[in-house]
Structure formats: structure tokens, C-alpha cells
A and B are shown apart, each in its own frame.
Chain A
């Protein structure tokens, strides 16, 4: 279909639309060109850098307390769900290599209502995810203080909140005012993290598999190899896999998108799945459920201490700080891009995508990302934040799969993906069922909060953007 988006929102703004030509190096519009500057390494760094933060450093304690070694299966299940979604997302992204990612595919494939719900809940989902990363950062910063001998006082929880809020403000201000290109720094942090973790895990695996005497002296609470705890833990830890779709939000800036987008998305899911599964296996082999439960969010530090003594604890604290920072920062960036995507289509006021004249940064969108993040981070509700983030993303992931099936059925003229998911509708259908299915295993409180957000976004559509038409418009 060649008809562009049409209609106007409550304020009379229409979606911005024009015909563009996508090449491997640039997007060419009528009067200007947009350079594609991210290569495969940059793409992988966004995916891995967003994912590897909290998942690996915050969840071992919480997930291990639920299922013991069975938590390894939970991470594997989550990884498979992520992969089932990453494949359809890759196909859609190569057909529509534009900023906005999942929102863009769904609004074009399924229409404005689904688009608004996803676009706004992607924003809010990223806000919840970022808050979760920041709380993780707060816990690690607290441990770092303890390691260097600074007492935490009588109210450690309050300090975690304070640290998370300060970090949230810091990242928002940094993104508004920092015009230095931080991409290289991000790549470096991801490379450093990966090498630290690989070395650490290799040592840990050796210890766990080879020297059985390293088993803990404490309690011996048995692992829970049962479907229900495994799946409910999978629903909790799914937050660890939210990064791959963030690659699609920068799809417009990736060089050779037909090749690099699928490689970056599928590659980062595969890499982190392996890392996670091994980490959880090591973690749950070193300590049992009760012990992991006692250690909580920073159980990894105790695992480091158990395996390598004080240096091990130190390495994990540094790694945890870097990882939660890189996750938080990458998510704030993605949030601002998500807001831009919906604002361009007139689903949010146009001023939301204004650019600051002094710094050239999207300060309104960054503020709309950072503001709610700070409020949520102060709650310190790790589990709730993580699950609501997962909930909102899973709705989007399920709809991405549905959108793929819908677009393939219509097969519009413009639809020419360079990457096609093999096996016909099987993978997207299973992906949709798995995404929606995982939600059912979440904590009821998370489902209520997530459901409320979805209803609110649908309400916003009815109030603000009922007359905007996006379906089928490229």
C-alpha cells in the first residue's frame, strides 16, 4: 500500500510522512540524507550492553532462591522466548529499517490502536526497566561502599533508593548535556564486561564441576525442578532479555541493515543466553536456595567471594556497577527514541520530540524518560519493576509476532524483507503464544499494574489520536 499515514490528533497535528529511499549507507529523503553510522559491533553492543546488566548481576539471588539449580532452566526458557521473538523482529526490521522498532512494525501492521498501546507502553516499559536497572545499580553501589569499608548505617534500603535516584538524575542530565560521543565508551564497557564474565565463569565452572568439595557448608535445601516455579521464575527474569529489541529502535542508524540487524539481534540473544545459563548454573551450584535468598540482589558478590576470595567479590562489584550503568544508560536512550517515534506519528504532541538548541539533544523526550524513572527507582521494588517492564515488553513482543503474520498475509507491495524467518507462520505463532503465555506466570500485582498501563494507553488513543490512521502506511 502506498498511501501514507493520515488523520490528525486532538491538537490538529498530522503524522509526518514522506517517501524515503533506504540504502545500505543512508536513508535518503526528498531534501536530506540520514547517515547510517552503526556497524555490527555497535549493534551488538547496544543489544548486549542493555541486556547483560541487571539480568546477570541482580537475578541470581532472587531466581536461585525460587528454584535453586532449576533456575538455570528458567533462564533457558526466557532465552528461547526471546529468540522466538528476535527472529520475527529481525524480519520486520529489515523490511522497515527505521527508528521506532517494535512500535513502528505494529502500528503499520495492526493499526493505530495497537500502535498507540505499544508505542506508549514501550516508553513506559523502558521506564520500568530503567528504574529496575538503577535499583540494581544502587544495591551494587551499596556493596561497593561496604567493600571499601564505608559503613551503610541503620537504613541501607534508604541509601539504595538515594543512590538509584542520584544515578537516574545523573544519567538524564548527562544525556541532555553530554555531546561527546559515548558509543565507543559503551563498546569498551561491554567488551570489558564480557571478558571479565567469561574469565570468571570459566573459573567458576571449573570449580563447580571439577572440585565438588566446593559445595556450600550451609543449608541443603533441594532444588525445585517443577514446571510452575521454573515458568514463574522465567517470567520474572525475562527482564534480562529486553535489550535485543532496543537494537530495532536504532534500526535507522545501522549500516547494511539487511545483514546487521538480524545478526545484532539474534547474535546478542544467543550470546547472553549462554552467559546467563552458565552464570545461574555456577551461582546455584555454589549456594543453595536459602543462602541465595539471604544474599538477595547482590548474591553474585558472595559467589565471587566464595570462588575467588576478596578479589572475586571486588571484580563482581565493579562488573555489577558497570553493567547496571550501561543497561540504565542504553535504556534511557532507547526511551527517548521510543517517544520520538510516537510523537512523529502524532500520537503524542509534537513538542515531545523537540531538540535542544544548545546541545542538539532531545531534552523533552529525555526528561519524559528520566522523570518517571527517578520516581519509580525510589520505590526499590525490584521484583515489581522487573515484572512490569517484562509485561509491557511481552505485550509488544507478542504483537510483533502477530504483526508479522498479518503483514505476510497481506504481503503489501513495499514489504521486501532481506531476512525471512524460515518455517512459515510457525515461529511467529509460537513466539506470540509464548510471549503472552509467559505473562500468565507473573505475580498478580505485576499483572494488575501492567494491565492498568495498557488500559491507560488505550484510553489515551481514544482521547487523543482516534482519527490518526497508520495501518499499512510505510
Chain B
């Protein structure tokens, strides 16, 4: 079954909102509790002091996910490098997507970005599984240079989702960057689904795109993982 990795800064009081727990009820979940340490602190030293507290919190979280539907387990990592730990665990559990926890109530409508050079098929198959037979609407968003280019990709994608019985609307935006378009639309949706990109120059400078969007949109963001060597 499809697995989603939910990284949580467990000792900093970060948690997962009930809306996201319900949304992920159709998939398996691995909760990754991480704690980032300054380089002065050996990870093992922090573990001795905080392990019990962190494990308690993680058990509660994975219980909540289990109650919502899918199978759930948890991992706890003490690290100097958050991204490295998330990448490693995502590979090890073969997660199809990562969740950036945000605040949301019941999810009624998700916003899906198809902008840019992304693996549309991977996004759609994940989405179909995520929505399942639930009454969750989907808005497909595409930011393009011309109206025609947008229309073609959106129509094909919408058709594919409708055939699985999903309620779909499409929005195309011309002349705005993909991130800006996504943040603009986010306020009228409860969660965002987007695709991870290959590591780029701007991700080095500004950090991960998904983290920036999560910060700007407040709600949770599900990031479908990029796979190397994938033809899109």
C-alpha cells in the first residue's frame, strides 16, 4: 500500500492536526519524529535525555493515524541535519509522499499543482489513492505561459480523475510563477498536493519549495516524491 512519511519536530511541540490525520486515513503512515541538535551536542546525549518523552508523543500520534484507518508506525531520529534524516527514512520506508504538517480542519477540497516539469502520472495515482471513495473535491492548478498549454494538461488530468469518480475542477493561471499561483489559490482549500522537484539552485538558496509553500499557506502540504531517472 502507498505510504506517506509525516516528519514531526516532536520535541518542539509540533503535532499533526486532526484534519491531516483524517485525510491520510486511506494510506499507511510512518511518523518520523526528529530532533535537530546544534553541532555542540552529540545526538546520543540528547537521546539519553529526551528519548522517553519523544517516544510517548510519537506513540500517541501513530495511534491517532491507526484509528483514522491505515497502518501506522513511527521512527525517532536525533540528527544535526533534518533534510538528510527525512530523505534517508523516506527511502528506507519507500514513502510515496511526504507530509508537511500544517493546521487544518476537515479536508473538503485539496489543491493540486501540476505546474512545471513534474511527474503528472505519479501525482494523479497518489491522489486517486488518497481520495479513494471519499467526498473530497480536487482543484487542479496549472501555471503556464499560455492558456493553450495549460488547457491540454489540465483536461487530460481531470478526465483521468473523473473516471475514478472524483469531483474535479481546473484552474489555469497565466503569467504567474507556480509557487505564487499555488499560494494565491491555497486560501480557498484545506490542503495542498504538489510534487517534489529535482534539487535545484533555488532550493539551495531559499530552502525547499514545499517548506516555503507550507509556511505561506498555513495548511498541510503533501509532497509526492521525485524519483530519479523518471521520464516525465
Q: Residues of A at under 8 Å CB distance from B?
A: 16, 25-27, 29, 31-35, 37, 98-99, 175-176, 178-183, 250, 252-253, 333, 336-337, 340, 344, 353-355, 359-362, 366
* Contact in complex: A37, B80 (CB < 8 Å): yes
Shortest A165–chain B CB gap in Å is 21
Q: Which residue of A lies closest to B47 (CB)?
A: A32
Q: Which residue of B lies closest to A183 (CB)?
A: B39
Q: Which residue of B lies closest to A333 (CB)?
A: B40
Binds A, one of B71-79, B154-162, B185-193: B71-79
Shortest A395–chain B CB gap in Å is 24
> Does B106 sit at the interface, judged by CB under 8 A?
no
* Contact in complex: A35, B79 (CB < 8 Å): yes
CB within 8 Å of A: which B28-60 residues = 37-51, 54-55
Tell me the complex Cα distance, A250–B45, Å. Answer: 12
* Contact in complex: A32, B51 (CB < 8 Å): yes
* Contact in complex: A355, B38 (CB < 8 Å): no
> Does B121 sit at the interface, judged by CB under 8 A?
no
Residues on B with C-beta less than 8 A from A340 are 42, 44-45
Q: Which residue of B lies closest to A336 (CB)?
A: B40
Q: Could you mark each residue 17-33 of chain B with 1 if its beta carbon is under 8 Å from any beta carbon of chain A, else 0? A: 00000000000000000
Instruction: Please judge, given known A-B contacts A35-B43, A253-B43, A353-B45, whether A360 and B79 are in contact too, CB under 8 Å.
Output: no
- A-B pairs with the 6 shortest C-beta distances? A35-B79, A34-B43, A32-B76, A37-B80, A179-B38, A37-B81
Apart from A32-B55, A181-B39, A253-B43: 14 A-B pairs, beta carbons within 8 A: A25-B88, A26-B88, A32-B47, A32-B54, A35-B77, A35-B88, A180-B38, A181-B38, A252-B42, A333-B40, A340-B44, A353-B45, A362-B42, A366-B40
Shortest A458–chain B CB gap in Å is 26
Shortest B205–chain A CB gap in Å is 14
* Contact in complex: A354, B41 (CB < 8 Å): no
* Contact in complex: A32, B77 (CB < 8 Å): yes
Residues on B with C-beta less than 8 A from A362 are 40-42, 45
Complex partner residue of B37 from A182, A333, A360, CB under 8 angstroms: A360
* Contact in complex: B85, A354 (CB < 8 Å): no
Shortest B63–chain A CB gap in Å is 16
Shortest B153–chain A CB gap in Å is 38
Residues on A with C-beta less than 8 A from B85 are 33, 35
* Contact in complex: B47, A353 (CB < 8 Å): no
Residues on A with C-beta less than 8 A from B55 are 31-32
Q: Which residue of B lies closest to A363 (CB)?
A: B40
* Contact in complex: A360, B42 (CB < 8 Å): no
Q: Which residue of A lies closest to B89 (CB)?
A: A33
Shortest A126–chain B CB gap in Å is 14
25 contacts between A and B (CB under 8 A): A25-B88, A33-B75, A34-B79, A35-B77, A35-B78, A35-B80, A37-B81, A181-B38, A182-B39, A183-B80, A252-B42, A253-B42, A340-B42, A344-B44, A344-B45, A355-B46, A359-B38, A360-B37, A360-B41, A361-B40, A361-B41, A362-B41, A362-B42, A362-B45, A366-B40
Instruction: Please judge, given known A-B contacts A31-B55, A32-B77, whether A355 and B43 are in contact too, CB under 8 Å.
Output: no
Tell me the complex Cα distance, A31–B76, Å. Answer: 7
Residues on B with C-beta less than 8 A from A354 are 49
Tell me the complex Cα distance, A215–B38, Å. Answer: 50
Tell me the complex Cα distance, A341–B81, Å. Answer: 22
* Contact in complex: A26, B77 (CB < 8 Å): yes
Tell me the complex Cα distance, A360–B39, Å. Answer: 10
Q: Which residue of A lies closest to B38 (CB)?
A: A179
> Does B84 sit at the interface, judged by CB under 8 A?
yes
Q: Which residue of A lies closest to B52 (CB)?
A: A31
Instruction: Please judge, given known A-B contacts A32-B78, A35-B84, A253-B80, whether A333 and B39 are in contact too, CB under 8 Å.
Output: yes
Tell me the complex Cα distance, A181–B48, Å. Answer: 22
Q: Which residue of B lies closest to A186 (CB)?
A: B39
* Contact in complex: A360, B46 (CB < 8 Å): yes
* Contact in complex: B47, A34 (CB < 8 Å): yes
Shortest B62–chain A CB gap in Å is 13
Tell me the complex Cα distance, A355–B55, Å. Answer: 18
Shortest B51–chain A CB gap in Å is 5
Shortest B57–chain A CB gap in Å is 12
Shortest B49–chain A CB gap in Å is 5
